Amino acid sequence: MSNPGYYELYRGSTVGTTLFESLDQLITDEKIQPQLAVTILSNFDRIISDMMKPENNLVKSKLTFKGDLSTYRFCDDVWTFIIKNVNVKLNDVSNSDLSDEVVVDKLKIVACNSRKAGEP
């Protein structure tokens, strides 16, 4: 019943962890069964993956970053980077005036292969 075509990657985002905690709370209160929570999480995997796609026009911003690569890892088709002294620039395309630039001492990037993401 799970969606093999969708990554579980985004469960690590804030919107994912908060959903997980909410489901966990409902299970603890014995209001739902764990099996239902698993189904909801796979619904989440599918929906967030689809929402991120450009055709939905929900996510349009562009981001650039520059820094010192401290660690790189490629395992099971997943890239992990730990970059230090990173300058991150975000251009919100929907509000062209707005752009954000922040410097972070350490940024961890976890990236899955784009070719597998729900594509046939």
| 34, 20 contact by CB (below 8 A) | no
Closest CB 20 distance from other proteins, rounded Å = 10
Amino acid in position 42: S
Task: Verify binding: residue 47, other proteins, rule CB under 8 A.
Answer: yes
Q: Classify the phi-psi angles of 76: left when phi > 0, otherwise alpha if psi is within -120 to 50, otherwise beta.
A: left
Q: How far apart are CA 70 and CA 16, in angstroms?
A: 27
Nearest to other proteins of 5, 71 (CB atom)? 71
Task: Verify binding: residue 59, other proteins, rule CB under 8 A.
Answer: yes
Q: Which of the 8 DSSP states describes residue 55? A: G
Interface residues for other proteins in 67-96 (CB under 8 A)? 67-69, 71-72, 74, 79, 81-83, 86, 88, 90-95
Tell me, residue by residue from 9 to 38, as one string, x for binding to other proteins by CB under 8 A and - for no binding.
Answer: xx-xxxx--xx-xxx-xx----xxx-xx--
Nearest to other proteins of 5, 12 (CB atom)? 12
Q: Which of the 8 DSSP states describes residue 96? A: T
Closest CB 23 distance from other proteins, rounded Å = 7
Task: Verify binding: residue 5, other proteins, rule CB under 8 A.
Answer: no
CA dihedral angle for residue 13, residue 105, residue 60, residue 22, rounded to 10 degrees = 10
